Amino acid sequence: MLYIGIDLGTSAVKLLLMDEEGQIKNEISREYPLEFPQPGWSQQNPEDWKAAVLEGIPALLEGFDKSQVAGIGAGGQMHGLVVLDEHDQVIRPAILWNDGRTAQEVDYLNEVVGREKLSALTANIAFAGFTAPKILWMKKHEPENFQRIRKIMLPKDYINYILTGVHCTDYSDASGMLLLDVENKCWSREMLDICGITESQMPKLFESYEAVGTLLPEMAQKLGLPENVVVCAGAGDNAAAAVGTGTVGAGGCNISLGTSGTLFISSDHFGVDPHNALHAFAHADGCYHLMGCMLSAASCNKWWMDDILGSQDYAGAQKDITDDKLGCNHVYFLPYLMGERSPINDTNARSVFIGMTMDTSRTDLTQAVLEGVAFAIRDSFEVARSLGLDIRRSMICGGGAKSPLWKKIMANVLNVELDTPASEQGPGMGGAMLAMVACGAYPSVQAVCDKLVKVADTVRPDPEIAARYEQRYQQFAKIYPTLKGLYPQLL
């Protein structure tokens, strides 16, 4: 049988077709626009996601026996506020995960409602990207639209609704809304009250690997698929990507270098970082995980190459960064192009280059960008280590992981072994694997990971380079605290 994986990203949807043995039969992508109506704002029209998926699936299946498709699973960008009216029509563009308009609402939640109360109710504190602050922003600034809300969902849930007619979400994605009691896996009535919404406006909760329904007749006809194709609840993009890299169960770790960057640590039991620098979320395998998320990771290098250097030659820009230069760069880069989440939670933070001299070269700046992202990932690693977690190795995935140099830098900055999966398809692969479990092809998420996930290569840290980076990281760690008080004055 065949399974469709949907990766509903920020700039495009990526679709893949996969069989039960993990063979990728086909993959395509469809781009859609991203709106920045004001500085720091980021939003998209859910209708664009719908159009891309409904156009993309027939193209994905061209030349294949559509009757063999058994299930569909999606991984999607988290936190985005999708609001529907009484006719299930989209009320306004979705406010995305990397939108920074909610600074006042975040301050209200953290300072007035209080961090301790938020953590007790949801296992997390408020971040600008989370969904609850967006709801409060909409209540204050768009009261007429707010009054029209009948359903609140997340981006991939809107696609599942289009396919099945079911208002649903999964625990991993819902964990990032600041509306879920993560430990007990239910909506927090008190948080809903704080936001002025009701449980009837929230979607039904499922485990990621559970079936939410089958295709609506009109969807089956439109896509040329059988009506009995199962659609599973799917997962937030990071949880789905973790499934795709086999990061499930106790003690797994995955680093994702995508548009954003994440440190993902899976666990078989619920746990909370007492300082809430790491998110405590439910996982797609039915258990839990801790996650650190930086808002700009591979997007930093894309910005540097595409917008500043005006070059698409990524490998060429990195070719002169040899081993003898690693850990010896005197230029530092703070990767806060969109503000920052984990672990500093500062929407005012901005990127800087520091340490430049007359002999600083373009190559030095390119190296600083790659190192700055690695140092920022290490910031979250340090929080995990402070909790007693002994991380010796990790999977690594995402577009940035295609750079051998960046993986080498990351392995030495973190001083851990980094495994690259043989098939790195991100959230789409995880979505397809979850669909396999929903259809009964595998008994559990652990089972499908054990069968399908293989390691292609491992990058090990070099003791000398790692020692040099240890010194550089200690310097890097002093820069943000020094600049923190200046950032609000620059706005």
Residue 41's φ and ψ, nearest 5 degrees, are -95, 150
Residues 6+ apart with CB under 8 A from 178: 109, 118, 122, 124, 126, 130, 131, 132, 133, 191
For the question of residue 285 being annotated catalytic, the response is no
CB 106 within 8 A of CB 166: no
Residue 19's φ and ψ, nearest 5 degrees, are -100, 180
Q: Residue 183 and residue 40: Cα distance in Å, rounded?
A: 32
Catalytic residue among 157, 170, 173, 237: 237
**Token match 């990932």: residue?**
377
Instruction: Please give the positions annotated as active site.
Output: 237
